[in-house]
């Protein structure tokens, strides 16, 4: 999971920087995915030393990111109708939202697998 976290952090940093450039540096809020990416990257690096702490931090950050981006994701209908005020924000937020949801699912599955493995190991002893 630490390597996945680092990779996701890098993708989000790239997404945020591209969004900021694509919107002609209009608003720093285009960098929100990059900010999330930096925090996830740092959490992933912490996870290399202490996986439990690093990945827990990363999953909390990802969950906060999902809540933060959900407002723009709710505007997908307006985007498809051509009525979105900030179409780039809706697109970037939606991409961020999907990436974070997939990451959270992957992280939870990883924790479930680790707990089952520890349980099986304890049963054998």
Judged by DSSP in three states, 23 sits in: coil
d(CA 108, CA 87): 32
Distance of CA 13 to the CA centre of its chain: 10
- For 32, 43, 72, 100, the CA distances from 7, given in Å and listed in that order, are 17, 11, 24, 12
**pLDDT score recorded for residue 81:** 86
d(CA 61, CA 39): 8
pTM: 0.86
Q: Which residue has the higher pLDDT, 45 or 23?
A: 45
pLDDT tens-digit map of 102-117: 999 999 998 888 878 7
Question: What are the DSSP calls for 76-99, one per residue?
Answer: HHHHHTT--SSHHHHHHHHHHHHH
Exposure string for 15-26, b = 16+ CB within 10 A, e = fewer: bbeebbeebeee
CB 75 within 8 A of CB 84: yes
- For 17, 31, 97, 115, 121, the CA distances from 103, given in Å and listed in that order, are 20, 20, 10, 18, 27
pLDDT tens-digit map of 31-52: 999 999 999 999 999 999 998 8
């Amino acid at each position: 999971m630490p390597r996945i976290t680092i990779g996701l952090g890098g993708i989000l940093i790239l997404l945020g920087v591209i969004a900021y450039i694509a919107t002609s540096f209009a608003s720093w809020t285009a960098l929100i995915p990059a900010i999330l990416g930096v925090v996830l990257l740092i959490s992933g690096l912490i996870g290399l030393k202490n996986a439990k702490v690093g990945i827990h931090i990363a999953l909390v950050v990802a969950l906060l990111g999902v809540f933060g981006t959900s407002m723009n994701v709710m505007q997908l209908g307006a985007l498809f109708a051509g009525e979105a005020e900030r179409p780039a924000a809706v697109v970037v937020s939606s991409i961020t939202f999907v990436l974070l949801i997939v990451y959270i699912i992957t992280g939870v599955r990883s924790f479930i697998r680790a707990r089952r493995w520890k349980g099986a190991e304890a049963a054998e002893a």
